[in-house]
Amino acid sequence: MGDHQAKSETASLIEHRAYARVGLLGNPSDVYFGRTISFSLGNFWATVCLQPSDDLVIQPHPIHDLVVFKSLDHLVNRLDSEGYYGGVRLLMAICKVFLDYCKENEIQLEARNFTLSYDTNIPRQTGLSGSSAIVCAALSCLLDFYKVRHLIKVEVRPGLVLNAEKQLGIVAGLQDRVAQVYGGLVYMEFDKEHMDTSGHGIYTPMDVSHLPPLHLVYAENPSDSGKVHSTVRQRWLNGDEFIISSMTEVANIALEGRTALLEKDYTKLAALMNRNFDFRRSMFGDDALGALNIEMVEVARSVGAASKFTGSGGAVVVFCPDGPSQVKLLEDACQKAGFKLEPIQVVPSLLNEVDLQTLSK
């Protein structure tokens, strides 16, 4: 009897993993009706577990949601390094957004409760979308627990993840959440007309075999992530010609990059990666980007590698077109500068058969 009960409890446990992501080309044009290419990064992930329970419980993480401290110094040091927020608020927000969406779309949910818990190894403040990975994994658990995966289209899900983060004042675009929902390598178009009518962009999965070997460079203790508030958004809204034309160029980099990847023209890819960063730098300025972030790009470029931010800073994606000898030079340069370097593992598509059936034909 006891064994049978234990087995049934284990069988009812739902667990999903969502990965960090790398914006390869075109970012940050996703929030300016542009185009991007991104992929799921297998090196880091967040895991969410859902277990049926009598009450609905959001379980605090023993490290990321710490509320017991050894001293006042411990508490303050903790806040200085980690900030005020862990993952509990993210799990609560996606529960709200999920329920609201189901009510609005007349999707009936069974009256059942659950306990949600999470874990993550995505480094903080590295621009690898750690928050949205937790939300994305939790959404997957809810879809399966309530058996409504077939009723909520794949294209819609990144918007639900983003809405949960917006509830908490997190400012971001759809790109990261698309890469995390879909997995693999995805080319995205955020055409304004399409976005206005459908509420989402046009997302085209690509074969991950089109990617060359790539590396990730990041700082273990990022302290300088760009302290100056950027004026780019407001300037774009005000019709600033330099910002509008630059953002159009950045979007075109993703378009050219898609062709370069399909043709495996990696010389072109390297040039596009560098150009992407140069446009970002000219628009945002060094104070907004942060000295440490710029140094990561420049360390990679000092050995002839191509590099750009994976997101808004904190980590860079690097391509060494000259192969292993150049990678060795990069290793030495990163070690000297005190940066971490890892070969990038790309996650293949995460979509299952039910997901694929929901995709717009």
Per-residue HEC secondary structure of the chain comes to: CHHHHHHHHHHCCEEEEEEEEEEEECCCHHHHCCEEEEEEEEEEEEEEEEEECCCCEECCCCCCCCCCCCCHHHHHHHHHHHCCCCCHHHHHHHHHHHHHHHHHCCCCCCCCCEEEEEEECCCCCCCCCHHHHHHHHHHHHHHHHCCCHHHCCCCCHHHHHHHHHHHCCCCCCCHHHHHHHHECEEEEECCHHHHHHHCCCEEEEECHHHCCCCEEEECCCCCCCCCCCCCHHHHHHCCCHHHHHHHHHHHHHHHHHHHHHHCCCHHHHHHHHHHHHHHHHHHHCHHHHCHHHHHHHHHHHCCCCEEEECCCCCEEEEECCCCHHHHHHHHHHHHHHCCEEEECCECCECCCHHHHHHCCC
Query: What span, in angstroms and rounded, lies between the C-alpha atoms of 38 and 89?
Result: 26
How far is 86 from 79, CA to CA, in rounded Å?
Answer: 11
**57, two tokens:** 């419980």
Cα distance between residue 210 and residue 49, in whole Å: 33
Can 176 be counted among the known catalytic residues?
yes
Annotated catalytic residue, options 73, 176, 278, 286: 176
Catalytic residue ranges = 176
